Amino acid sequence: MGAAFSAVYVRDLRLALRRRVEALLPVVFFIVAVSLFPLGVGPEPQTLRQIAAGVVWVSALLASMLSVTSLYAGDHADGSLEQMILSGQSGFVVASAKAAAHWTVTGAPLVLAAPLIGLLMDMSGVALATLVASLLLGTPILSLLGGMGAALTLGLRSAGVLLILLILPLAVPALIFGAGAVSAVDSGLSTSGHFSLLGALLILTGLTAPLATSFALRIALE
Amino acid sequence: MPTNHAVPATSTDGLPTLAAIDLACRRGNRILFRGVNLEVRKGQATWLRGRNGRGKTSLLRLAAGLAIPESGRIVWGDTAVRNAPGYARQRVYVGHANALKDDLTVTESLTFLARMHERPSDPASVQAALNLVGMTSRSEALVRTLSQGQRRRATLARLALEREASIWILDEPYDALDADGVQAVNELLHRHLAHGGSILLTSHQSPGADAPTMVEFDLDPFA
């Protein structure tokens, strides 16, 4: 089981490394999207600080969704997905490995880019730290949900749009708790509730999304 | 969920038989074939024939357990292929698509497939397998740079990694291969049958004079 996980995970990382430009596009999108807000909303620091957490979270969400559409499409097209399912390895493990690889290539860089963005939006140190922590818990949730969406929309026309429509509602709780944690810290309130819920969401998603993904993949191959 | 390595009870006599019983297949609104009864026993190679669109690939996918029959059953030993314990381990499916990643080298692609299927994946075994299909000189090349025939050889190198008797379900294995490639594949097929394995394949071209003896099964009458 562990061997299958690492085989899929390492392979996906290797593939991303060989297409570095494509792998970095989501992060570039994230930075560009967030940078547009000070331009559109006005450079008033007070306003920016208020909307910062929400803007960063929504941009991270959209960047994740845009990059996840191709998670299974390539493997489906060249027959690799078929072989992974036929191998008898647990579909749960394969789906988890794909989501983990997606997070490593897309989610983790978003978390690392967040401090940069926070400075752009004139966030306080504590708010920034809370934002980064919330993204650290939240981006894996997005990768897991995104993987499920990609599997469900595999082979369909307009898969990208369908995926966003399907997954965005499911990602809303993470968005609310994640951005809400930063608002709480700005108001001097405790964030333990937000982080507990975010953590619970991560565990719940980690247990259910790969299962749903593996069923969706089998259906896509029939 | 760990992979199930339990082997069906019938295997004390060797590899179980793959049997299609009154099998029917649908694609969209069309019934491709119905009432197909077919057996592939250990040591036997079956050449599935039929015109384009008759459902040869669909039958292979049913045999592999990728699709669900419209009616009838397809069984491994006495259990439906989709539920047969240990079938994943005893089956090798090489479809039309090569399952090679453009951005990986031949060695990396083959090693990944070997790992997933729990076959020998150490460098020595992988190189030996590539050698058997004549791909040694291109083993470190990116799959993207290979010709169609070379990609097919690289895919078929998986067959050279097999150490135990299994059923090989092959969809157009000779596709794009030159005479040397066809010969290499036929040698693999001979060896496989001699070790008690079984084969179910489709091919538009004749397998050639040096191919093992094959039972022909024509799908046309079942449309």
Task: Give per-residue pLDDT as tens, A122-162.
Answer: 888 899 999 999 999 999 999 999 999 999 999 888 888 99
Nearest by CB to A89, from B3, B87, B100: name it. Answer: B3
Residue of B nearest to A218 (CA): B66
Are residues B66 and A222, on separate chains, in Cβ contact within 8 Å?
Answer: yes
A39 shares contact with chain B (CB less than 8 Å):
no
For the record, the structure tokens of A180 come out as: 């809400």
The CA-atom distances, in angstroms, between B179 and each of A32, B137, B201, B208 are 55, 18, 18, 9
Which pLDDT value is given to residue B5?
A: 46
User: pTM for the full model?
Assistant: 0.92
With cut-offs at 50, 70 and 90, classify the pLDDT of residue A13. Answer: very high
Nearest by CB to A87, from B1, B108, B116: name it. Answer: B116
B165 shares contact with chain A (CB less than 8 Å):
no
Are residues B68 and A78, on separate chains, in Cβ contact within 8 Å?
Answer: no
CATH code assigned to B15-222? 3.40.50.300
- Which stretches of chain A are DSSP H helices? 2-18, 20-41, 45-68, 73-78, 80-86, 91-102, 108-120, 125-152, 159-186, 192-221
Residue B83: Cβ within 10 Å count: 10
A70 shares contact with chain B (CB less than 8 Å):
no
Q: Which residue has the tokens 């099998």?
A: B23
B67 shares contact with chain A (CB less than 8 Å):
yes
CA of B217, closest CA in chain A: separation in Å?
24
Nearest by CB to B103, from A1, A15, A89: name it. Answer: A15
Give the phi and the psi of residue B177 in degrees, each rounded to 5.
-85, 145
Cα separation, A40 vs A56, whole angstroms: 15
For the record, the structure tokens of A119 come out as: 């400075």
Nearest by CB to B112, from A7, A82, A222: name it. Answer: A7
Q: In what side-by-side order are the strands of the sheet with B45-49?
A: B91-94, B167-171, B198-202, B45-49, B215-218
Cα separation, A216 vs A212, whole angstroms: 6
Q: Which of B7, B57, B101, B151 to mutate to test the interface with A (most CBs of A within 10 A)?
A: B101
User: Which residues constitute the domain of residue A46?
Assistant: 2-221
Whether residue B192 contacts residue B199, with contact meaning beta carbons closer than 8 Å, is answered with yes
Which pLDDT value is given to residue B69?
A: 94
Are residues A11 and B4, on separate chains, in Cβ contact within 8 Å?
Answer: no
Residues of chain A with C-beta less than 8 angstroms from the C-beta of B88 = 86-88
Cα separation, B37 vs B106, whole angstroms: 38
Which pLDDT value is given to residue A157?
A: 87
**Structural domains counted in chain A:** 1
Residue A211: Cβ within 10 Å count: 16
pLDDT tens by residue, chain B, 223 residues: 444 444 444 445 788 999 999 999 998 888 999 999 999 999 999 999 999 888 999 999 999 999 999 999 999 998 999 989 889 999 999 999 999 999 999 999 999 999 999 999 999 999 999 999 999 999 999 999 999 999 999 999 999 999 999 999 999 999 999 999 999 999 999 999 999 999 999 999 999 889 999 999 999 998 8
